[in-house]
Chains A and B, each alone.
Chain A
Amino acid sequence: MKTAGTFVRSILYQTVRILMFVQILLGALWIAGNFSTFQSFPETEELRQIADTLVTDEYVGILYPCVVKFAEGVSRFCPVPYYCLIYFMQLGLCFWTLWKLTGKNPGKIWLVLWLMTLPPAAQFNLAVLPQSPAVFMLLLCFYDSRYGKWIKAAVCWLLGGLLLPEFFLFGGGIYFAGLIFKMIRRRIPKRMVFQGIIAAVLVCLLTGITDSAAVEVHSRGRMARTPAAMALHRCVWPYFSVNRSFWAEEAKEAVSEESLIEISRDPGKVSREFGLVMEKTYGVKQSQSIYWKMAKDSFRIGTKKVVGDFTMDLLGYALSPFVIVWNLRGYGITFSGWNYSMMQHHTPNLTKYYVYYAGNILPLVLLLALALYLWNGDKRGFAANAQRMGLTCLGVLSAVVALWYSLSASGMQDYKNAILITIFWGLLVTAFMEEKKSSFNEQK
């Protein structure tokens, strides 16, 4: 009986591997077919403009435009387009990070390749956008914080924050959580604690210096990034014109009714046409109180709608890799169609089969892996506390990321902001697939 059970388990395990290999194959073909092509995201053009002036705002980090500029410079001396150099760097960073997170085990390289070929990861590794490298910097910061390598963790935190400003907060959260945890459990000597604190101070200092040198509010035509602005975007859009009668006189005077109708049709215009006009008219400080009032009024008038939209966004982010294919079937209100149109532009048929296969197979793979884990009498593979703790922390971080982006804006749910969450679900599968050794906890 036991032998039969083991035999069936081994069949299931092999089945999951086959399912993963098919995804790896499709993903590899997609990467190969699109490596020399360019996804025309409008944000990429903005990054190139920032690279020329080296002035940015609170929404875009300064590091990635510098990387773009550097790649463009290098490509002048070699026959490779600059974006291919960037893709190569991003793929390398992705592989290195996942290799570390899965224990640097050559026997698990197929798991690393599977994680790399999850469609959101593959797509944005081959896009000239900062989301992918920022996520992998954050994961490296997480990894190094867990093992008390504060200098490395601080460097990754700094780089992540310079790639995407909100990652300064996420990275800081991980860093200090790791430091405090180790201090409480007295797992590190005092000098290491001081090293960690000094490294953190240096990161904050360097980030502050970079921000003061490169960040200029309104420089990219967007409103200041504040909690009030986030509340405005979350609660008020798309009801700008509908609820106009409730707005403060300042808001009514600054923006015409026709403009409000246009803003209601386009969430991107909240920042550029409403917020910017308000702040240039009344100043950033005074505008904040107006935004808060508008957000509160909108929430009061349309509580059900606002909460409903927020919940949909939150679920969409939290379950991002699972819901993409549903979005593409016409369910949900997301940017998935837009991202997919970019992804499929050069290889439409291959992309269709790749994305739908990977999206449909993921819940199956997760369930099978979970079933194997629960059935596996030998729980050493997952029982290691450090591995469980690590995944729990990553889960909490993913929840924080989902919450952040859900609170940031209405009508802009975008799976490129959920790459970390996608990787988390993938790591969960790989953890369930662990057999005997806990390689997540091994430091090699």
Chain B
Amino acid sequence: MIALTLPAQDGGSFTPPSVTSHLAPFFTIGGFEFTKQMALVLLSVVIIAWFFIAAARKGQLVPGRLQFAGEMAYGFVRNSVGKDVIGAKDFKKYVPLLFSLFFFILLNNLYGTIPWIQLPSFSHVTGAYFLALLVYVIWIGVGVKENGLRYFKLAVVPSGVPWYILPLVVPIEIISNFVVRPMTHSLRLFATMLAGHLIVLIAGSGIEFLIAQESWLLKGTSILVLAGATAMYMLEALIMVLQAYVFVLLTAIYIEGAVHADSH
């Protein structure tokens, strides 16, 4: 991090982009600032809806290439996440939520890998808050609906624990399930996206800064930054996919815990 304040030979100093650097909004209506991030979020909705409707519309028994791709994607969330985690009996009604979450997050994350766009939407925390809150409300609602108000007891009093440990365990369970869970759920996504975004930005502006230097030695070091940044870029692409998967997998696990609170 010290390198970030490398003094430049030609006088100016390197100012890295920070977590609070934002592009100017596209336009503003009253207090509403329409930014690039919002445009990307809305674009993702259009792309996902368009792609999957186009893929599913024909519904042929022997799928074409597009339909096959759509079915692969849909079947992945439906079976590998929904069915395997929630169980074959109850998973069907949660498939739309899991499916929408996965592709909404995936596409908004992958924006970070596309040159010129290069902005994962969830590097802004608000969207992550919203999705985690939505999931939080849903799994608690599911728990109450499936088990009644007894659900809260089931959720915080683990079975098979001796009574004298309970005073210790119950507060931990309350905090971990009802307080920490939505925070980690949202911040995990947000933090990884922001970090990845920042790394790319810092590397990019670092390269730009180094290339502009007089000294050929310093110019040369930009190659190293480029190599490192490319590796990080690959890693980020992996993390973007992984985080979308993790978010949805956790959602499925939370819902499963709420549906089958009795057996936990």
User: Does A associate with B in a complex?
Assistant: no
